[in-house]
Structures are given as structure tokens and as C-alpha cells.
Structure 1
Amino acid sequence: MGATDHDPLAILTRPPPNETPIERAAREEREARARQISDQIDEQLKKDKAALKRQNGLVRVLLLGQSESGKSTTLKNFRMKYSRAQWKAERLSWRAVIQLNLVRSVLTILDTMQTEMNGTTSTPTSSVVQELSGDEEDEEEDNPIPCATISGVGIIVNISRRSSLSKDSNSSLRTTLSSHHQILKLRLGPLRGVEADLKKRLGAASDEEEFDSSASLGIGPLEPSSSSSGDGNQGAERRSGNAMIAARKVKRREFGVKRLHEALENGVHALSSRGSHHGHGTRDSGSFTSDDATDIIASCRDDMKALWLDEAVQKVLAKRKVRIEDGAGFFLDDIDRIATRTYEPSDDDVVRARLRTLGVQEYSIQFEQSKGPTLFAGGLGDFGKEWIIYDVGGARTMRQAWLPFFDNVNAIIFLAPISCFDERLQEDSKINRLEDSCLLWRSVCSSKLLAKATLILFLNKCDILKRKLKSGVMVKNFLPSYGERPNDAGSVIKYLKEKFKDILKAQSSVPRTCYYYATSVTDTKATANTLKTVKDSIVREHLKTADMV
């Protein structure tokens, strides 16, 4: 009896007796197929194990906040600091976006100036405007409307909506705008074609959304409660309120794209394609040469500067409450540098650029392993080496898309623009922007899906807040609960931080830690330091969950 006679497996796999050559060939073919399937299963198991390990090591961060709160700018700062190679490769692609920002600012001024010359009360804010139906022309109310009330935190803002513009003021400003301004308008006319070309190059979204123009560029801020003003101040509020009603009758479609990365690629491809046919616009040694749009912008440089620096134009903008300098994508102070044929964007330019996205932007950031002991060492494994950051649209119509991203998220970075205490929500001019931020924060704090997520709150746009307060805007006129506290940025930030803390304490189902930061995310150096602290805080919270701290 052979040794194999005691091995059940050998007996099972032994070829049958009297096996013919044909039967043997068929058996070996079946065994080969079985081995192949077994190897495929083993390989898939290895991949699944590696994927599970990677998923367990991923840090998922969700950027939340209303539209224009600074989410995309925060993402840019993350990528600039921790994904430097990819950032540098993409930086040149932003030139068309920055040029479009500059051109649209100039066209906004031209449209506002033309409206003033015409003597009408509506204030266009873009080269693409739509008049509403005449049904709203009689929309007036004698009493102030409470438009920003947050239950439990004592933030109430009243706004006056009925008034009349001063005819004498209109007349004096119209006479100030002379034939010189008409000539400037004609000379800058080609920029409308440049705007259309740049939008087409970037690939405008087919479902651009219509917003109230008055909110988008700061036209018609919320007026203080009339109860705290004298008769003279009430008259000023009424005049300003009527201007806001007129502004609401002009709406625009804000330019936006579905996918930021695709839009930037479209801009480069369009430029390269045009260059191959016209002999310019090609990419050479990592930089762009001139193209038609750039040529026109460069030729209009002096006229754009003259328009922006003109004293009469500044008076018109002040009267119409068009605060272009407070919005994202403001480059009118950089005309000399940007309106050239050899312009290449800097890091700060890209961070400040504005390109509205209609879809969810997802970016992966790989953190390099530093020398010496780190937060990634020990039992933590690979956790924290790779981050997935989601930038979701903040407009009201897009917020239903947030829910799928709540699952398994490690951290929420919530951006609340605290400079907007006197501004209206872009999508609904009856809603105060600060109220909307607080309501969103309350929803995040009370969500059971986010109960285990680390909460990080950016009290953002502190730079704009400081400028507003320095210009004389009194917070107590818009937030009566602020009382007689000092009207300085530090006191306002401290007050609002406590309000957001109160909301978290009242709405969260379990006690939880939240990290608060006063930020101006367009300040890249300061934000880089903040992001380092944020990164360490998120990993540290994970360590606490793992009982390692």
C-alpha cells in the first residue's frame, strides 16, 4: 500500500483508473479553470482588504455653509498647502477665471453707471439682467419687517422696505456723469464680447440659477430698525429701502459650472485649440502666451483704471450701494498686473478668484509622512494620511444634496461669514444672511448622522467685518441683542462665538467638542496656520475615539 493511500486528499484528487487521453485532457482543463478562478478570488480578497484598510485610514471632511461663505476658498487653501504639486500644475488654468472676474466687475460698474445716466431706480449688477414682471412694482409696506429672528439666541434684525429716492440727489449725480463717462463706456464696450468668450471657454452650466442681484454684490444692505432712529434717519432709511425694492426688480443669472476641474481644463483646451489655428494662445514652457481675450483686456487697461478710480463713478457706486470690493473675485485694484499679455496667476490670485460651482467638488489630499514621531504613528495605522474633502453647494436649492455625504464623515468644517450681519440672503432677499447661517448651524448640530463628527466652526470674513465697522456701521442697529457692547471686531467676534456655542449646547444630543476659529480665508498665510491646527485637531479627536489619548 502506497503512502498516498492514507491521504484522503490524494485519494480524492487521484485520476480515475483507465482514464483515456481525451478524458485526461478534459479533466486538466477543468482543473486549470478552477485554479484560475481560485487565484482571481484570492486577488479580489487582497484588493478588498487593501481597500478596507484604505477606507479605514481615510479622513472625510465636509465643507458646509451658505453660498459665498468661503467653502471653495478654504478648499483652495487646503490644496495649496498640502497638495502643492497638483496646485502648481493647475494654477495657470485659473487665468481665464480671474480675467472673467475682472471683466464682470467692470461691466457691473458700466451697467450701474448707465442706469444712473438714464435716471432709473433699478441697479443692474451684471451684463446679463432680467426685468421681473410688473406685478412687483407696487410692492411696498409702511412698517419695518422683522427679517432675521433666531429663536433662543436673541438675534433680531428689522428692515425697512418703503421709501423714495431723492430726486435732487439723482439729478446732481447724473450731471456729474459727463460725456467723458460715455466715451469710457464706448471704449470698454469690447469687454462684453470678452465676457461671452471667457464664459464659453470655461463651459457655462446649462442650469445657471437666478438670484436676487441686490444680494450678490451687496446692493441694498439691511437697514437698521426704525425704532432707534430719529425722523431724519427714518427718511434716509426710507430712501435706501426704496432703492432696495428697485434693485430686487432686476435679477441676473450668475455664471456657474458643474465641475470646477472640467471647467479649468476646458479653458486650457479652448485656448490651445485657438492657438493652433491662429498662431497664439499656445502653452510654452509652462506658461500661456497671449490670446484674443487677453489682448483686448490689455488694450483696455488704462480705461478700466480710469473708470474704477473716477470720483464720480465712486459716488454712483456708493449711492447705489454696489460694494464690489467686498465680494469674491475682486481684482480692480490689480488692473496693472492682471491686464497684461504676459499675466500669470499667483497663489493669492487663485485663492481670491470666484467661480461658482453647481455640483459637489471632491478632492483627495495625500499627506506626506514627516520624519520623527507624528500623529500617524503607533496604533493609528494609516489614519490621516489621505483626506477626502467635499465642497458642496451652499445655495438653498442645493442643500438637499448634502445628506448623502453625512454618512461616515469624520469632520465638518462649517463656515459662517460673520460680516454679513447687515446683508440679505442671495436667494431670498427677505432672509438675513446671519440668520441663515445660524439656522444651518443648528441643523448640523442637531443631526444624528453627524453626532460623531468633529465640528469645526470658521467665523469667516473677519477682514470685511473690520472694514464695515471702521466705516461706521453700528452692529447694535442690526442686532439689538448686541446692546451697548463695543463696536469693534474683537467684541463682535466674541459675541457671535458665544451665540454659536449656545446653539451647539442647546441642539446637540450629546456633549461634544467644537473648535472655533476667527478667519479670513483669503489671507493665505494666516489660514495655513489655522489649517495645520485643524488637521491636528481632527486626528486628535480620532485618537480619543480610539481610546489612545
Structure 2
Amino acid sequence: MVFHYDSSDPLAVVTAPPPDETPVEQAAREEREAEAQRISDQIDEELRAERVALKKQEHIVKVLLLGQSESGKSTTLKNFRMRFARNKWVQERASWRTVLQLNLVRSVNAVLQALQDAFDNEEEEEDPLPFTDTHQRLRLRLLPLRGVESDLKRLLGVKAEDMLENSPQTSPRLSPRTSTEFYVRSRNWRSFLQASQINDSESSRRPIKHDGVSSQDATEVISSCKNDIIALWTDRVVREMLQKYRVRLEDSASFFLDNAERLATRDYEPNDDDIVRARLRTLDIQEYEMNVAEDGESRTWVIYDVGGSRTQRNAWLPYFDQVTAIIFLAPISCFDERLQEDPRVNRLEDSFILWKAICSSKLLSRTTLIIFLNKVDVLEYKIANGVMVNRYLPSYGDRPNDTQSVVKYLRQKFKDTVKHSSPEPRMCHIYSTSVIDTRTTAQTLLSVRDGIIRAHLKKANLV
């Protein structure tokens, strides 16, 4: 075969086959060219798919929940799902029964541990509490709940190697600090949800079995201990003990113990208020997708709940890319508390440090910033019980020691941080919240939704 080409065309020279090419060499060359074309077509297809995906991403609202541990991020996510993904929420509601039972049992066991510590140190006390044989009998009758706690953790997917890390560290001396917080890995929690939903489709009370443990067995033990749980929690001396030694129970522990009459039954079914107060710390990032409607139009929202402890904050940065809005949870009731992972640091101070870092980030310069000044209900409770804010926050000065004044002062401090730390002028939306109040929070989320969508449309040059 004779090839004719214009030797003045450099491309023709490069692409022309060798003049003395043999049939074998020609076949090899054509095979190479076909492979190169296949790879080129594959790259073109991937680029087209990427462009489609990027186009789709433009219409997705990406919201990041940030804040320190126990600030209310997970509770805020529950409120979002309850308000904007109701059908899925209802499907999962019965699955929270095991978590709520665990919260109740852990609360009881924390009180029992404090009671045991008090017994052990009774002889050293100058003014011992008036414990009786009744308190010893209560403690002994409730001891099976320690085994139930382990069983419930196994049901939720905690592995044997994680059980020690999750176990409380006991001390011969009473301590105002709580025991090590229980956690479950996100993938195990999702697996539990899926498995229990299959059971719920048949019967919401069908026992869940995992790792040799049955939810029915745990429920039987809890229900048999109901009267003793109530007796322990309502005992005057036990309450005095908790107050005297400043035993700090986990968030919402009093809610679970106050509702033991309802929770510690064989036919208990969780309601929305129960689930919002349920504490289940998960490792890794939790991601939820939901369709949020406004004015008859539905948009896809992806909400990320990231860990708030110091060791988990290095995982935040990858999620800053193309984020539409950040909702920062600042628990303003924690002015008199310190970080569990670093007792040298005041929790309110840590919130301000985090907030300043977020405002200063150039990656987030076009991101909508929203703050929830959370746990106003806890702040109000502390002030009502005589806690003086300026004792822990000297800059508060002689301002009135009431909830409204404290919220106003902290609101301005967070607003000033935005003004002085942001790379460029920007708006910041601030809400005073108690995210365990589902009804009020639902109204707040509607305002948040409207503000985020307006900002999202503006950023996309659609308004």
C-alpha cells in the first residue's frame, strides 16, 4: 500500500505510518491506536460524567454542622430530619428504642457508681449522709443493669475490643466528672438501623438479636427493675448525695430517670421528644440526604454531622469545599464547664476559638454562617439555681445575672468575632435555641431553610 501525504504538514509526517511497515507491524500499530482511542473515549466519557455531576452539585445545598462535643449537633440533625424527612424518620423511630434503653440504664448505673463510691468513703466523711440498709438493697437489686448495659452496647454493634475503651473508669474517690462517654461506630449504627427496620416492618416489638444478645432479654430485666429505678431516683438521700459530691450525669439523664415509669416497660415505644434527647455518640462523619421543599420546589440537601472532640476536628477541612452553609452550635450554658478531653480549657472559651477559626478561613469566605446559641434552657436552670456568670466569665462584669442579659452579651461577642475575623464583610444569622424543644426548633429551622436557600440562589447567580 502506498501512502500519499504532504511532507510540509508536520502532523502528516508524524501520523504517517512507516513506508516499509510490514503486515505484522501494521497490525500491532493499529491495535495500539485502537487502545489509545479506547482510552481517549473513556477519558472523554469520564469528563462528561464529571461535568454532569458538577452541574448537579450546583443545585445541591450542602450544610455542615460544627461545634464542640456535646454542643447539640446530633440533636439539630434529628430536628432537620424530623421536619424535612418525616417519612424516613417515622420508619426509624422504633429503632431508637434500644438506644433510649441504653441511655436510661447508663444513667441508673452512673447513680449506682456514685452511691458505691459514697459507701466506700463513708467512714472518712465528717458529716456522712444518712444511708440505710434500703440503699444497699437497692444497689444490689439493680446490679443486673450493668450486664444489660453491655448487652445493649453489643446490640448496637460495639465490638469486644471497643468495649474496654467505652467502659467507665472508676475511682475510689468521688469525682464531679462523668465516666467515659459511650460511642458506636457510624457503620455499625447504620447496620443496626437497617436490621431493626426490617423487623419493624413486621412488628415494631419483634426482638432484635445480634452477637448472641436479644433485645427482649434486656427489656425483661429493665422492666423488672422499674420500681427499684424509680425508688433510687426519687430517694431524698440519693439526691442529696448527687448534689453534695457534684456528680455530673450525662446530658438528659434526668429526663430518662424522670420518665422511668414509661421507658422501663415491656411495651415501650419511643416518641419524638424521647429520640431528640437520646444520646448516641458516633465516630466518623454522619451524612444525611433529604429533599427540602420551599414554595412548591424541592431541593436536595446534604447535611454532615462531624465529630466535635479535639481529636476529630482534623476531619473537618475536606468538608469545607463548596459548602453552602455552616450551622455552628455554641452551648452557652457551658461557661462554668471544662472540656472533658482537656480539663484546662473552658468550654465556652473553646467555642469562641473554634468560631474565630471558622470565620477566619478563606475557604469559607462565601459560606453562609449561622450560629445556634444553644442550651438556653440549661443556662436558665443554672442561673435560677444561683450560679453567678461573672464568677466564671469576668468580662461579663456587673451586668444583670439573668438569662436574657447573658444571651444578649454572648450574641454580641460572637457577632464581633465575625466582624473582626472574617476576610471580608459578611452576614451572620444568630438564633437562641434549645434544640431539645422540637416545636420551637421546627420554627427556627424554617427560618434557617429560607435564609440558606436565598443565599444559595444568590451564589448561583439565580437571583
Q: Distance in 1 between matches of 2:54 and 2:164?
A: 39
Task: Work out whether 1:192 is the aligned partner of 2:106.
Answer: no
Q: Distance in 2 between matches of 1:329 and 1:258?
A: 26
Q: Distance in 2 between matches of 1:386 and 1:267?
A: 22
Q: Distance in 2 between matches of 1:204 and 1:211?
A: 9
Shift of 1:265: 3.4
Q: Distance in 1 between matches of 2:438 and 2:197?
A: 29
Contact 2:62 2:323 in 1 (8 A): yes
Q: Distance in 1 between matches of 2:451 and 2:71?
A: 22
2:449 match: 535
> 1:110–1:209: structure 2 CA closer, same or farther, 3 Å change rule?
closer
1:311 match: 236
SS in 2 for 1:367: strand
1:320 match: 245
Match of 1:71 among 64, 70, 73: 73
1:256 match: 183
Cα-to-partner distance string for 1:93-140 (whole Å, 9 max, x where unaligned): 11111000000000000010010011179xxxxxxxxxxxxxxxxxxx
Q: Distance in 1 between matches of 2:166 and 2:145?
A: 23
Q: Distance in 2 between matches of 1:116 and 1:475?
A: 30
Contact 2:158 2:188 in 1 (8 A): no
Contact 2:58 2:460 in 1 (8 A): no
Q: Distance in 1 between matches of 2:40 and 2:316?
A: 41
Task: Work out whether 1:413 is the aligned partner of 2:413.
Answer: no
1:513 match: 427
Contact 2:166 2:182 in 1 (8 A): no
Pairs within 5 Å for 1:308-387: 308-324=233-249, 326-327=251-252, 330-368=255-293, 370-371=295-296, 385-387=299-301
Match of 2:64 among 62, 79, 95: 62
> 1:485–1:366: structure 2 CA closer, same or farther, 3 Å change rule?
same
Query: Which amino acid letter does the alignment assign opposite residue 182 of structure 2?
Result: F
> 1:413–1:335: structure 2 CA closer, same or farther, 3 Å change rule?
same
> 1:49–1:67: structure 2 CA closer, same or farther, 3 Å change rule?
same
Q: TM-score, normalised by structure 1?
A: 0.70
> 1:120–1:355: structure 2 CA closer, same or farther, 3 Å change rule?
farther
Shift of 1:349: 1.0
Contact 1:212 1:429 in 2 (8 A): no
SS in 1 for 2:302: strand
Match of 2:344 among 409, 423, 430: 430
> 1:327–1:432: structure 2 CA closer, same or farther, 3 Å change rule?
farther
Q: Distance in 2 between matches of 1:329 and 1:312?
A: 16
Shift of 1:36: 11
Shift of 1:58: 0.8
Identical-pair percentage: 54
Q: Distance in 2 between matches of 1:423 and 1:283?
A: 40
Q: Distance in 2 between matches of 1:38 and 1:329?
A: 64
Shift of 1:247: 2.6
Give the unaligned 5+ runs of structure 1: 1-32, 122-165, 215-242, 273-281, 377-383
Query: Which amino acid letter does the alignment assign opposite residue 167 of structure 1?
Result: E
Match of 1:544 among 450, 458, 463: 458
Shift of 1:305: 0.2
Cα-to-partner distance string for 1:172-210 (whole Å, 9 max, x where unaligned): x1xx11110110011111111110100111112655897
Shift of 1:513: 0.4
2:371 match: 457
> 1:40–1:407: structure 2 CA closer, same or farther, 3 Å change rule?
closer
Match of 1:97 among 63, 82, 99: 99
Contact 1:457 1:514 in 2 (8 A): yes
SS in 2 for 1:541: helix
> 1:181–1:209: structure 2 CA closer, same or farther, 3 Å change rule?
closer
Shift of 1:266: 2.6
Pairs within 5 Å for 1:396-411: 396-411=310-325
Task: Work out whether 1:525 is the aligned partner of 2:450.
Answer: no
Query: Which amino acid letter does the alignment assign opposite residue 76 of structure 1?
Result: K
Shift of 1:54: 1.6
Shift of 1:83: 0.7
Query: Which amino acid letter does the alignment assign opposite residue 247 of structure 1?
Result: S
Stretch moving more, 199-208 or 60-69: 199-208
Q: Distance in 2 between matches of 1:266 and 1:289?
A: 14
> 1:366–1:329: structure 2 CA closer, same or farther, 3 Å change rule?
farther
> 1:498–1:328: structure 2 CA closer, same or farther, 3 Å change rule?
farther
Give the unaligned 5+ runs of structure 2: 1-34, 208-215
Contact 1:83 1:365 in 2 (8 A): yes
Query: Which amino acid letter does the alignment assign opposite residue 63 of structure 2?
Result: V
Task: Work out whether 1:296 is the aligned partner of 2:224.
Answer: no
Shift of 1:38: 11
SS in 2 for 1:288: coil
Shift of 1:504: 1.3
Q: Distance in 1 between matches of 2:440 and 2:86?
A: 17
1:247 match: 175
Contact 1:456 1:516 in 2 (8 A): yes
Query: Which amino acid letter does the alignment assign opposite residue 154 of structure 2?
Result: K
Task: Work out whether 1:204 is the aligned partner of 2:133.
Answer: no
Cα-to-partner distance string for 1:199-223 (whole Å, 9 max, x where unaligned): 1111126558979989xxxxxxxxx
Q: Distance in 2 between matches of 1:86 and 1:271?
A: 11
Shift of 1:394: 0.2
Q: Distance in 1 between matches of 2:135 and 2:87?
A: 46
Shift of 1:526: 0.7
Contact 1:406 1:450 in 2 (8 A): yes
Query: Which amino acid letter does the alignment assign opposite residue 399 of structure 2?
Result: R
Stretch moving more, 282-291 or 400-409: 282-291
Q: Distance in 2 between matches of 1:369 and 1:431?
A: 42
Q: Distance in 2 between matches of 1:327 and 1:427?
A: 20
2:126 match: 168
1:117 match: 119
Contact 1:208 1:253 in 2 (8 A): no
**Aligned residue pairs: how many?**
419
Shift of 1:409: 0.8
Shift of 1:254: 2.4
> 1:200–1:271: structure 2 CA closer, same or farther, 3 Å change rule?
farther
> 1:297–1:246: structure 2 CA closer, same or farther, 3 Å change rule?
closer
Q: Distance in 1 between matches of 2:60 and 2:241?
A: 52
